[in-house]
Amino acid sequence: MSFDWPRMHKWEENIERDMIDSVESYVLEYYGVEDIADLSKEQINEIESFCDDYEWNLLMAPGFRYVINLWEDSHYEDEENTLN
């Protein structure tokens, strides 16, 4: 019988969710804000620079990408509302 891991994707989803939650929690605590949208552009640049230093070869990279995308999405919506 060959090795098998049924529903391994569920384990991977849980691990990814935990990693994203950990990155988000750390960033919020580090910068003392309650929401990712409250970060400044400079703070997002610091996070991107941190990741660039590792050439995005971080195990936690998906969590940082999530945080950056969340911030960009929130500020895109703000820009859209300002234009309308």
Is the predicted pLDDT of residue 66 greater than 70, yes or no? yes
Chain length of the chain: 84
- pLDDT reading at 83 higher than 70: no
On the question of pLDDT at 84 being above 70, the answer is no
Q: Name the residue among 80, 66, 75, 51 with its Cα closest to residue 16.
A: 66
User: What span, in angstroms and rounded, lies between the C-alpha atoms of 64 and 55?
Assistant: 12
Give the burial string for 13-34 (b: 16+ CB within 10 Å, else e): eeeeeebbeebbeebbeeeeee
Convert the pLDDT of each residue in 21-65 to its tens digit: 999 999 999 999 999 999 999 999 999 999 999 999 999 999 999
**Token digits of residue 49:** 């620079």
